[in-house]
Structure 1
Amino acid sequence: MTATTPSAATVQLVADAVTFGYPGRPVLDRLDLVVSAGDRVGLVGENGAGKTTLLRVLAGDVAPTSGEVRRVGTLATVEQELVPQRGATVGTLVESALAAVRHAADELQAAVAAFDHESGDLSALERAVARFEHLAAWDADRRVDEALTRFGAPRDRGRALDGLSVGERYRVRLACRLAERTDLLLLDEPTNHLDAAGIDYLTEQLRDWPGALVIVTHDRALLDAVMTAILDLDPAMDGRPALYGATRYADYRFAKDQMLRRWRARFRAERKRADRLAERLDAAYEGLSDEWRPPKGSNKHRRATGARLHVKAADRLIQRLEADAVEVPVPPPALAFPDLPSIPRPTVDGAVEAPAGSGLLGPLLELRAPRVDGGPGRPRLDLPGVRVDVPPCGRLLVTGPNGSGKSTLLAALSGSVALDRGVRTVAPGVRLGVLAQEGPTEHADAEEERRSAFDAYARHALDLLAAGALDPQQLVPIAALGLLADDDLDRPLRELSVGQRRRFDLACALLAAPHVLILDEPTNHLSVGLVDELTEALRVTSAAVVVATHDRRMRADLADWPELRLD
């Protein structure tokens, strides 16, 4: 597939029949892509489809198994994770990003100083001026400071990177890359660690980007506002990714949904055809057992001839049915969100659940006047006089800029952080399902990383059972959720992609069939299709739901929920 604009813009990137795979797991198959200056290509697809891998191949960090990648001009990438080098600071990132800008300024200064007005090479001076203006080198430091400020990132250039949070490090690097103004910019989930104001600023910068952009994103509003094309790495029925030229997300979703409907209908039809073939073959060969005999009264010498005719007729049937059959791959699964309970049912002697009669008065979960200190200076959370209560089937949308305490509030609700002031109350028997920004897989030790996803899920269930937070009769099997394919369930956690690990964390939040779901930035690292399905499921589930999100489309979809804004 090819993404191009109908102009004479400079081609910045060409991927020609690029193929790549890990041992036993193909990822990219003969992928073609052309991106010119002014093109803004959004990469979407299910988790594990190869989006991040494709970015790494395009950047030259990973060599394709076959095919070729050609790039023209300067390149910058912003990956999802940044492991800081020892001793690196905010200033280290800034100066590294602006090295080319500084070099262009030095070259122009040297060219001007050495230029001989009578016999000098005017073309060399013009090239130096053009490069200086292309990079807007005179404005580079202001651009960095503005981006750091607008993203809510640390501006102190002496701050050590290893002393910053994951989100702060990401925002610093993103600000530096935007100020760098490269010809080709590759971004992996750039909105994950930004608040609403930061996302708005990023959107403005990307819309005006003079070079070429390739962006992996789950942000549906960003796809709407920025992209000139959407490349979906999920294979269609023919096994190939598809390029959608429509720039509106709704148009892309409509086209893809129509394709999936046709695929699933074709698959069901072929399954029925295969079942009919099996039934007719069974009937055709039934008479060829040791008990087969010609019709009563027939000539016994016709027995062998009749058997041969019977076999030939069955063989002709097989050939005719197989000639009409079409091999249709299994279509991708949809999210099968579990039927979650709204209230805990009373128990008999603490052993078995009795028939329902609500008997529950008041909220399932309540938090009053919470305060969580974060060391010297400003507390992480301080809400004097505020009461947060979550009733059965309740809904709450938590919003606010980065640093306002949204994650701390959700951690206080879930009980994963201690209160320095305030009271937290959980009704008897209430089970919580929690998806934090850093889920179980973020803190897995080496032994856990070696476990398969299925075994790790089972271990999580045993831990909940030991803590009295799981009813074995209401356990939600991970294989029934449609979040991970069967093959992925058998793979070690360490081999799963970032998005697949996020899916696993979501499954862990649903494991105990919770009465209250507490979700912190649930769209992070998930595919756009899954985000659509998850949003719809959260709107209709019987469980109570608390969501904190910067995702603009999700906030719009949940706009009718009660909102708690932190500033």
Structure 2
Amino acid sequence: MPQVHLVVRDLAFAYPGRPVFEGVTFRVPPGGRLGVVGENASGKSTLLGVLAGRLAPTVGEVRTAGRLAVVEQELDPAEGLTVGDLVQGTLREVRETAAALDAAARAFDHGDGDGGDDGTDAAASAAGLAELTDLLARAEHLEVWDADRRVDVALTRLGASRDPDRRLDEMSVGERYRVRLACRLAERSDVLLLDEPTNHLDDAAVAFLTAELQAWRGIVVVVTHDRQLLDDVATAILDLDPGMDGHPVLYGQPGYLSYRFAKTQALHRWRQRWREEQKRAERLAARLDASYEGLSDEWRPEKGSQKNRRATRARIHVKAADRLVQKLEAEAVEVPTPPLELVFPDLVAMSPGWDPSASVVELRNPRVSAGASAPADARPRLDLAGTRIAVPPSGRLLVVGPNGSGKSTLLGALAGTVPLARGTRTVVDGARVGTVGQEESVPVGLRMGDGRLATGFDAYAREALDLLAAGALDPELLVPVAALGLLTEDDLDRPLAELSVGQRRRFEIARALLAVPHVLILDEPTNHLSIDLVDELTRALQRTSAAVVVATHDRRLRDDLGDWPTLTLA
């Protein structure tokens, strides 16, 4: 295998007027698999863009050796581009390497190559042998003789379309991603960059991806919120969230659990020091107030004192107060504000007068058709004949199953957003339901009445007013969006269109909590979230008094919620 490496030193990147990250330094050796984590908008996808050469760093350097391939979260295909086009692009270098090897083998002089007295032929023969050796090594690394089968296996195992005529612009984001991922895995690049690769994969596909990455002979850099994937494949973890010194932190121990323990300890020390400095600042302010109050009252000599004596004592007290200020300021330590922490609201299980034995929401015998545009014999999106799904107050339900099994459809039916072709949905009068779907429910380009793009505060206020008008919100129970620890006030003041995918996902969670719901229905809630928030959200869902229904492919989340009643869809 050719020598490969990836070295990053003092890397920084900024958009005009907005720094993204700085001080990024790491090295990934051959066989290394670096996991990249961090809060939403910390620059994870941007870092991949810089490593891939698509973005130029503000400062610092990136040095790579070997062929590089990247799989971004979203593929924006040219009109008419097909699965076959991607596959042929994948196989192009493989075929070129095989052709070059064949040509070099035919041209090579297999004689003794001594070339006469001047040694010219011998030198040419040596050069030809070196070229042939290099090409053979490259062909063996790429496994050129097995490339077609390898592509077909990857497409099959990832659940991607194998139809060469299928147009990419007619596929969903997840379908396109799986095709691109399969092709990149089959390429056998030396440096592979992946952005959230498990977002669109079911269990079988994730198992295949994990095995491929564990056996990867080059370098892997993977941006992911998937804690199990980090545990299974990461040999080191780079956290782009600035530490107390303001720089990203590289955790050199393999696996998520080692990283989680080390970061939790670091955050505990950070928050403790920050609280101490806040108290110190409060003491400083109080002592200053007391000192200057004393200057105006206690240190004023009695009436009749000599004027110059009064002025002298005042100056002495001013100097003493200034020395106190200097001493306390010298002892202070500049500790930046710690990162946000989720503050989950107190949700209620029932409203007064409810029967505690009755279900808050219930489905019986549900069936959802394939849709008006589907063929008459198309399989229904959901068909659970003879099934009753009941969610009692404070109840729990975990919904699992492969892609296409109807998990999202079932959750939509429970929430009342997907109409039933058969069956019934009943819900307790006055029950509030909060939902987080896979797709964003607030248009990114939402505009206000004056034509400006809506900010997070705008969209949240509009939602609250709509709920109040519909009688679906108790104004005494409104949850302030800025109090949740999901987004900063600065982020909430920005147009939604300027927020990252992960930040908009955080906003969707905030919207679901706005009305203090009795039931939370969450479809793939960990998608696009930082792993710190995933841990915090998991604990909140386990403890809340509200009923919770979760559909997820996240293996660690399923383990964490493993004691919940589980509905498996086939």
Report Cα offsets for 1:70-122 as digits up to 9, x if no partner. 22111111111112210011112212222221211221222223333235521
Q: Work out whether residues 11 and 35 of structure 1, in 8 Å CA contact, stay in contact via their aligned partners in 2.
A: no
**Alignment match of 2:221 (pick from 205, 214, 226):** 214
CA distance in 2, matches of 1:274, 1:143: 63
Any idea what SS the aligned residue of 2:262 has? Answer: helix
Any idea what SS the aligned residue of 1:523 has? Answer: coil
Any idea what SS the aligned residue of 1:507 has? Answer: helix
The aligned residue for residue 201 of structure 1 is 208
**Alignment match of 2:364 (pick from 360, 368, 371):** 368
One-letter amino acid matched to 2:413:
A
Residue 445 of structure 2 corresponds to residue 445 of structure 1: yes
Unaligned 5+ segments in structure 1 are 1-7, 346-355
Any idea what SS the aligned residue of 2:300 has? Answer: coil
CA distance in 2, matches of 1:240, 1:150: 39
1:236-315 alignment runs, 5 A limit? 236-289=243-296, 293-295=300-302, 298-315=305-322
**Which is worse superposed, 27-36 or 473-482?**
27-36
Residue 354 of structure 2 corresponds to residue 358 of structure 1: yes
Residues 313/291 of structure 1: CA separation in 2 closer, same or farther (3 Å cut): closer
Any idea what SS the aligned residue of 1:447 has? Answer: coil
Q: Work out whether residues 104 and 128 of structure 1, in 8 Å CA contact, stay in contact via their aligned partners in 2.
A: yes
One-letter amino acid matched to 2:38:
G
**Which is worse superposed, 316-325 or 359-368?**
359-368
The aligned residue for residue 174 of structure 1 is 181
Residue 101 of structure 2 corresponds to residue 105 of structure 1: no
Give the root-mean-square deviation of aligned CA atoms: 1.8
Residue 556 of structure 2 corresponds to residue 563 of structure 1: no
**Alignment match of 1:455 (pick from 453, 458, 461):** 458
* Number of residues of Structure 1 aligned to a counterpart in Structure 2: 548
One-letter amino acid matched to 1:445:
G
**Which is worse superposed, 141-150 or 515-524?**
141-150
Any idea what SS the aligned residue of 1:102 has? Answer: helix
Q: Work out whether residues 4 and 190 of structure 2, in 8 Å CA contact, stay in contact via their aligned partners in 1.
A: no
CA distance in 2, matches of 1:468, 1:411: 22
The aligned residue for residue 5 of structure 1 is none
Distance apart, 1:210 and its partner CA = 0.6
**Alignment match of 1:498 (pick from 473, 497, 501):** 501
1:148-159 alignment runs, 5 A limit? 148-159=155-166
**Alignment match of 2:78 (pick from 76, 85, 99):** 85
The aligned residue for residue 172 of structure 2 is 165
CA distance in 2, matches of 1:162, 1:103: 28
**Which is worse superposed, 273-282 or 447-456?**
447-456
Distance apart, 1:444 and its partner CA = 3.1
Distance apart, 1:463 and its partner CA = 3.0
CA distance in 2, matches of 1:468, 1:286: 53
Any idea what SS the aligned residue of 2:346 has? Answer: coil
**Alignment match of 1:332 (pick from 335, 339, 355):** 339
One-letter amino acid matched to 1:303:
R
CA distance in 2, matches of 1:416, 1:75: 44
CA distance in 2, matches of 1:461, 1:54: 37
One-letter amino acid matched to 2:159:
G
The aligned residue for residue 487 of structure 2 is 484
One-letter amino acid matched to 1:435:
V
CA distance in 2, matches of 1:133, 1:414: 54
Unaligned 5+ segments in structure 2 are 114-124
Q: Work out whether residues 357 and 392 of structure 2, in 8 Å CA contact, stay in contact via their aligned partners in 1.
A: no
Distance apart, 1:403 and its partner CA = 0.9
Distance apart, 1:253 and its partner CA = 1.0
1:367-446 alignment runs, 5 A limit? 367-374=363-370, 375-376=374-375, 377-441=378-442, 443-445=443-445
CA distance in 2, matches of 1:495, 1:546: 30
**Alignment match of 2:557 (pick from 554, 558, 563):** 554
Q: Work out whether residues 10 and 36 of structure 1, in 8 Å CA contact, stay in contact via their aligned partners in 2.
A: no
CA distance in 2, matches of 1:523, 1:232: 18
Q: Work out whether residues 9 and 38 of structure 1, in 8 Å CA contact, stay in contact via their aligned partners in 2.
A: no
Distance apart, 1:291 and its partner CA = 10
Distance apart, 1:290 and its partner CA = 9.2
CA distance in 1, matches of 2:298, 2:262: 56
CA distance in 1, matches of 2:341, 2:10: 30
CA distance in 1, matches of 2:472, 2:100: 66
Report Cα offsets for 1:418-446 as digits up to 9, x if no partner. 111111111110111111111224x4335
CA distance in 1, matches of 2:169, 2:423: 32
Residues 474/283 of structure 1: CA separation in 2 closer, same or farther (3 Å cut): same
CA distance in 1, matches of 2:265, 2:134: 51
The aligned residue for residue 547 of structure 2 is 544
CA distance in 1, matches of 2:245, 2:8: 21
CA distance in 2, matches of 1:78, 1:232: 20
Residue 515 of structure 2 corresponds to residue 512 of structure 1: yes
Distance apart, 1:248 and its partner CA = 2.8
Q: Give the TM-score taking structure 1 as reference length.
A: 0.93
